[in-house]
């Protein structure tokens, strides 16, 4: 439950192209870590390397170490499937399974572990997860309806419910609010603040106010130019990043001088 992730000398490639270079960072448990930076700087790529979703793309690979509570996630005997069961992910666009009901969507991850669940137990997981995602009251009367019939914000909270239903150690969020209106965004942000008591949360966002509002630590990614690998320029407590950053580039970015 809520584990610490240490990343050392991580290089991330797409085929021969080095997308991210030399990342060293420690992500603390029970806190929200935000990753900001201009488009194409590798923050999403870095996020996807934390639960080994990066290698789903043909030719994509990683060099370096990602260690979660002493276990190297890229160790030779580590099954990426197990890594992803421990580290949940929420995507930029809400993606509930359209062929499943709301109920089945929440249980999708639990069903994968292919253990038989009693009906009462399944009901329990669904209610707990949907309550955890602040969605229960809105959908409790239509659990058998398709998840794709919900609004965008509700769908995203359904995806969060699906991710937390399997009780992961870490929750990765890749711009979870970028497709949502301000009200839904606020709902998700409130939810994140509640969830950080139980999970380690890493969020990629383009919205700097969002990073400032919700996160304890912030990492700033940047790249020197097109075709160059992205780097983690600065990683510091959010307060420091937004008031008195160590790096000139960080200050330029957050003050809107570029990017």
Partner 1 sequence: MTATKAPSEPRSQQAVRRPGDRIFAGSAKASGVFILLVLAGVAAFLVSEAVPALTAPAEDVPGGEGLGAYVAPLVLGTLLGAVLALLVATPLAVGIALYVTYYAPRRVAATMGYVIDLLAAIPSVVYGFWGLAVLAPALVPFHVWAADTLGFLSFFAGPASTSGRTMFTVGLVLAVMILPIISAISREVFSQAPALHREAALALGATRWEMIRMAVLPYGKSGVIGGAMLGLGRALGETMAVAIVLSGGAGATLNLISSSNPSTIASNIALRFPEATGLGINTLIASGLVLFVITLAVNMLARWIVNRRADFSGAN
Binding residues vs partner 1 (CB under 8 A): 51, 53, 56, 58, 81-85, 88-89, 91, 93, 95-101, 108-109, 112-113, 145-146, 148-149, 159, 162-163, 166
- Residue of 246, 37, 167 lying closest to 45 (CA atoms): 37
Query: What whole-number distance in Å separates Cα of residue 215 and Cα of residue 213?
Result: 6
Q: How far is CA 195 from CA 76, 164, 168, 170, in A?
A: 32, 9, 12, 10
Q: Which pair of tokens denotes residue 194?
A: 């509640």
Between residues 148 and 236, which has the closer beta carbon with respect to partner 1? Answer: 148
Between residues 85 and 213, which has the closer beta carbon with respect to partner 1? Answer: 85
Between residues 83 and 232, which has the closer beta carbon with respect to partner 1? Answer: 83
Shortest reach from residue 250's CB to partner 1, in Å: 30
Q: How far is CA 104 from CA 2, 95, 100, 111, 228, in A?
A: 25, 14, 6, 9, 43
Between residues 27 and 208, which has the closer beta carbon with respect to partner 1? Answer: 27
Shortest reach from residue 94's CB to partner 1, in Å: 9
Shortest reach from residue 56's CB to partner 1, in Å: 6
Shortest reach from residue 240's CB to partner 1, in Å: 32
Between residues 23 and 50, which has the closer beta carbon with respect to partner 1? Answer: 50
Q: Which residues pair with 36 in a beta bridge?
A: 220
Query: What whole-number distance in Å separates Cα of residue 203 and Cα of residue 1?
Result: 18
Between residues 51 and 217, which has the closer beta carbon with respect to partner 1? Answer: 51
Q: Which residues pair with 60 in a beta bridge?
A: 14
Q: SS3 for 199?
A: coil
Query: What whole-number distance in Å separates Cα of residue 144 and Cα of residue 115?
Result: 22
Shortest reach from residue 82's CB to partner 1, in Å: 7
Q: Which pair of tokens denotes residue 76?
A: 């030779």
Shortest reach from residue 149's CB to partner 1, in Å: 7
């Amino acid at each position: 439950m809520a584990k610490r992730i240490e990343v050392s000398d991580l290089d991330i490639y797409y085929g021969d192209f080095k997308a991210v270079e030399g990342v060293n960072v420690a992500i603390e448990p029970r806190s929200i870590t935000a990753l900001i930076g201009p488009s194409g700087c590798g923050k999403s790529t870095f996020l996807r390397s934390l639960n080994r979703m990066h290698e789903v793309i043909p030719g994509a690979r990683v060099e370096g170490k990602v260690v979660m509570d002493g276990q190297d996630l890229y160790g030779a005997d580590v099954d990426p499937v197990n890594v992803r069961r421990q580290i949940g992910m929420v995507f930029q666009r809400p993606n509930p399974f359209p062929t499943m009901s709301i109920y089945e969507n929440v249980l999708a991850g639990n069903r994968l572990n292919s253990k038989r669940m009693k009906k009462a137990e399944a009901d329990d997981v669904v209610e707990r997860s949907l309550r955890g995602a602040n969605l229960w009251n809105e959908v409790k009367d239509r659990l058998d309806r398709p998840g794709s019939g919900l609004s965008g914000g509700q769908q995203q909270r359904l995806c969060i419910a699906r991710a937390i239903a399997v009780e992961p150690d870490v929750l990765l969020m890749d711009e979870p609010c970028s497709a949502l209106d301000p009200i839904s965004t606020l709902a998700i942000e409130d939810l994140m603040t509640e969830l950080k008591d139980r999970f380690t949360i890493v969020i990629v966002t383009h919205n700097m106010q969002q990073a400032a509002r919700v996160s304890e630590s912030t990492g700033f990614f940047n790249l020197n130019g097109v075709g160059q690998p992205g780097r983690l320029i600065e990683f510091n407590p959010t307060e420091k990043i937004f008031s008195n950053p160590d790096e000139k580039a960080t200050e330029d970015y957050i003050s809107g001088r570029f990017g």
